[in-house]
Structure 1
Amino acid sequence: MANAEPDIKPAVVKKPFSLNEDAKNFVLQNEKLFKTLKKAANRYIGGETLAETILSIKKLNEKDYTVTTDFMGESIRNERDANDVTEEFIRFAKSIATEGMNSSISLDLSHIGLLVSTELTIKNLKLICEATAKSKQEVIISMEGTDRTDQIIAIYKESLKENSNLGITLQAYLYRTKDDLKDLINLSGSIRLVKGAYEASKDLSIPRGDELDEIYLQYAEQLFENNHHCAIASHDDKIYREITKLIDRYKPTNYFLERLLDIQNEELEIYKNKGYKCRIYVVYGKECYLYLCNRWAEYPLNVFRALADIVE
């Protein structure tokens, strides 16, 4: 299915419309519109509820996939909502242990308090890490816009002192990542390497293309050389072909090839069957509007797939 798609470069940014909070709230409050868009989003999400998502994760585990799971949402602006989200992550962490699932947690710090206070974020992150540690799973901090990068890295480094099961995401398209990687690779926490998913000015970021691909591979090679716990998150099969050559050369034991649920998972299955360690990123919750917009931004022809899903 993925191989039949034309060679269209995916966007490197999250479209501003998908981040519009008024639009998100309108969708969530309009039952008919929400149900319509959810039909299109269903292929990309583990479920709307925790119970539905547990079933999805179990099916992936049965196929020998490791999973990382995110409760959808970001940019919470009050303490009560941030605490409610934290409780949901803790409920999920308890489910991992109870159900014997293999799933780490991924999250945006702005979903648990980053826009409220640093203290609240560190407190909530610690609670989630403690709950997840009981099932020997990790918590992976996702990266957000460039205006938040310094704060996210600072909170990660501070929290890692008390929570050894913590990891972070780095975006290869930022010029600063060269120095960030040099710093963070010396710490014990895992590193998820992505190309980049947020709009950034030209003075801060490298445009998508051959130069960025080469830099991405250089960063991955540094991680493999050090056998640093990492995830190579990409939907670019050209990248994965080069990545597997590096894996064969350095023979790291602490890595995953990672892709989003139902995004070129057929190719990921091939790599898994060849013996490479593979992980699928699963999201769940009601904010499927945001997630669906991001899938459209990454690959515009997904709009047609969404229309087909809606009318089925």
Structure 2
Amino acid sequence: MIQIIDWERQATEALKSIARRQDLKAHVERTPALNGLLRRAAARYVAGATREEGIEAARRLLAKGYAVSLEYIGENTTDAAECEAAAGEMAALVGELGELGITARVSFDLSHIGLAADDGLAYEQLLRLTRHARELGIEPFVSMEESAKTGRILDVYKRAAISDSGIGITLQAHLNRTPGDLAGLEGIGGPIRIVKGAYQEPAEVAIGRSEALNERYLQLVEAALAQGRRVSVATHDEALIEAVIARGWASHGVEFELLYGIRPDLAGKLKASGYPVRVYVTYGEEWYLYLCHRIAEFPPNLYRALADVVGEAAVDSVSAYD
């Protein structure tokens, strides 16, 4: 009897493990030829290395009728000076968006601005960034990271949200703790972004991709709406999106949020049907982890990455959006 190997599941697990291998990341960074090849693959999912490239991608998407989120990618920064430099780049991003009159959401990874060094530093910098953003009409949002950081991220978020109730937060549906975390946010903070969860987690703290996960996802959307929040349904899973539409939630405070470079066809279809669609645009030099996660979420993207590596033309993901 021939055993059928679940290669996609194995590929997903392998890629998530590779994403956390600092030795592999370091090897890529110090090998110019390899770095150049993988950077070509990352260009499909990362708008560029610079703030200017990120903003330009956002402007073009806005012109096509999409809302946008922007993130300067990076995490697990342990040096306080580097954390402050990252926060400085985020403040510059917010300031430039404000000067250009661009309506956008800006997301912050707390471990990029202090959490990996000191919770107090992360709180202080988040508060400065969110106040700056709100003054300029930019919506501040906190991203989510591995489960080991979830409690600390939520603690910092709650402290900041007491001072500014408009800050948004991301929650990961695959974590077993998330329904309780959402209930604990009752009356605190602003909009909620719900993702399935991209990080590799132990079985005792998270559930894998399954019908059970989809059901939990929908329960979280319903619970967040019941709290009176705006909700970003951040998924490329068409079955989930169709379920949200079928339940009538798409006309009651829900938007669909898709990652830059992934399923532009789906984004266009949803927008053409009259639903609000947001594209999550990233930029920066820390693209290695991000690339691994994007391929891990949908292993057939590996074929696309190989095509991008050997292709002659530069990737322009914005052009794929209608």
Same fold (TM over 0.5): yes
Structure 2: 5+ residue runs without aligned partners? 1-7, 312-322
Matches within 5 A, 1:1-312: 11=12, 15-246=16-247, 248=248, 251-252=251-252, 254-312=253-311
Listed one character per residue, the Cα deviations across residues 176-197 of structure 1 (whole Å, up to 9, x for unaligned) are 1111111214323211111122
CA 245–185 in structure 1, closer or farther in 2 if over 3 Å, else same: farther
CA 25–250 in structure 1, closer or farther in 2 if over 3 Å, else same: closer
**1:102 is aligned with what amino acid?**
T
Q: Equivalents in 2 of 1:94, 1:134: separation in Å?
A: 10
Structure 1: 5+ residue runs without aligned partners? 1-7
Q: Equivalents in 2 of 1:153, 1:72: separation in Å?
A: 20
**1:153 is aligned with what amino acid?**
L
Query: Which runs of structure 1 show a deviation greater than 6 angstroms over 4 or more consecutive aligned residues?
Result: none
CA 121–13 in structure 1, closer or farther in 2 if over 3 Å, else same: farther
Give the aligned partner of residue 3 of structure 1: none
Structure 1 length as normaliser, TM-score?
0.91
- 3-state SS of paired residue (1:139): strand
% identity of equivalent residues: 33
Shift of 1:16: 2.3
Listed one character per residue, the Cα deviations across residues 288-307 of structure 1 (whole Å, up to 9, x for unaligned) are 22211112211222121111
Q: CA RMSD in A?
A: 1.9
Q: Equivalents in 2 of 1:12, 1:230: separation in Å?
A: 29
2:158–2:189: 8 Å Cα contact kept in structure 1? no
| Count of residue pairs brought into register by the alignment | 303
2:164–2:189: 8 Å Cα contact kept in structure 1? no
Listed one character per residue, the Cα deviations across residues 244-294 of structure 1 (whole Å, up to 9, x for unaligned) are 122x25841x33211101111211211112221111111101122221111
- 3-state SS of paired residue (1:161): helix
Shift of 1:12: 7.9
- 3-state SS of paired residue (2:60): helix
Give the aligned partner of residue 4 of structure 2: none
1:172–1:212: 8 Å Cα contact kept in structure 2? yes
Shift of 1:91: 0.6
Q: Equivalents in 2 of 1:272, 1:179: separation in Å?
A: 33
Shift of 1:13: 9.1
